[in-house]
Amino acid sequence: MEEDFIFRSGKHIGKSLVWVEEFDSSYLDWVKINRPEMLKEISTPQPSKIKTDAELPDSPITAIKPNMNFDNEKRD
């Protein structure tokens, strides 16, 4: 775990690991025993790969056409 780790939840939310070690080391011990998942880094999701024209299927892409016929609306 890196020293610039920031707590995302719990009693010291928003504080760094270094700060918690210095000012409340007993809390850090408690977290290690009872809530070790709090010390895991957040994994950044990888962006999805956008398919190029060559990777798209040969069949035409169809979609639902919007209904733009406003003549059927009731008028007062």
Residue 25 lies in a domain: yes
Kindly state whether residue 64 falls inside one of the protein's structural domains: no
How many folded domains does the chain comprise? 1
12-63 residue pLDDT tens: 989 988 999 999 999 989 998 998 888 887 766 667 677 666 666 666 666 6
Range(s) of the domain holding residue 32? 1-40
For residue 4, pLDDT beyond 70:
yes
- Domain assignment of residue 71, yes or no: no
- φ/ψ region of 8 (left if φ > 0, alpha if ψ in -120 to 50, else beta) reads alpha
pLDDT digits (tens, 9 = 90+) for 46-58: 676 776 666 666 6
Whether residue 53 lies inside any domain: the answer is: no
User: Up-side HSE of residue 71: CA atoms within 13 Å toward CB?
Assistant: 1
Q: Is residue 63 part of a domain?
A: no
Instruction: For residue 61, tell me if it sits in a domain.
Output: no
